[in-house]
Chain A
């Protein structure tokens, strides 16, 4: 069974640009969560989507947004990029999205803002 796929794996953008990252969950999984990982702040929850609806949102500015499609694939968008947005962006999918449903992480997209 295919795992969680994130594309692209690596991305370099210029400050002020916007970027869209994609996450394809495991087949049948309806919940997709996004996390930002940096050496300074660690792993921080961005948002969670379940059945095309944003169910939870972390403490990030409005420049960070996302969506989920009817096939459960999800995208996250960051507008007006800042140097501090450089990070590894991870998505995780789970079958039901409840607290104790195991989440499976992708390998992440490494975003570098220059």
Chain B
């Protein structure tokens, strides 16, 4: 598959451990955020979203935290599995009526056996 990013920051975690992936977003007017997962050879896949009126949202094995004061998002993955190995992107949007998202640079998560 193609290389998503040759020089992405990489997070290596042991299988079964928790992972925390961080993202600094750019626009203080952004009011909606998404975390995406991109596996090699595939397009990004939606993981979880959060609105700016929330500071935490939980899904299945994933939690997103939002800190608007410092424009920071984090994605926590519980009990990380080999299938979680991928590149993770945060994306922000400030247009209620559009899909024009601004993506972060991405973090490569590598799960060690």
The yes or no verdict on A and B being binding partners is yes
**Which A residues lie at the B interface, using CB under 8 A?**
4, 31, 33, 35, 37, 39, 42-45, 48, 55-56, 58, 88, 90, 92, 94, 97-108, 110
- Tell me if B89 counts as interface (CB < 8 A to partner A): yes
Interchain CB contact under 8 A, A44 and B99: no
Interchain CB contact under 8 A, B44 and A56: no
10 contacts between A and B (CB under 8 A): A35-B103, A39-B4, A43-B44, A45-B100, A45-B102, A97-B98, A99-B95, A105-B44, A105-B45, A108-B43
Measured CA separation A47–B97 after assembly (Å): 13
Interchain CB contact under 8 A, B49 and A56: no
Measured CA separation A101–B93 after assembly (Å): 12
Interchain CB contact under 8 A, B104 and A42: yes
Sorted from nearest, which 10 A-B pairs have the closest CB atoms? A105-B43, A43-B103, A56-B100, A56-B98, A33-B99, A39-B6, A45-B100, A99-B32, A39-B5, A48-B99
**Which B residues lie at the A interface, using CB under 8 A?**
2-7, 32, 41-46, 49, 51, 89, 91, 93, 95-106
CB distance from A29 to the nearest CB of B (A): 11
Interchain CB contact under 8 A, A99 and B99: yes
Chain A residues, Cβ within 8 Å of B99: 31, 33, 48, 56, 92, 94, 97-99, 101, 103
Interchain CB contact under 8 A, B43 and A90: yes
- Secondary structure type dominating chain A contacts: strand
Q: B103 contacts which of A42, A56, A88, A101 (Cβ < 8 Å)? A: A42
Max chain B Cβ within 10 angstroms of own Cβ: one of A39, A58, A101: A39
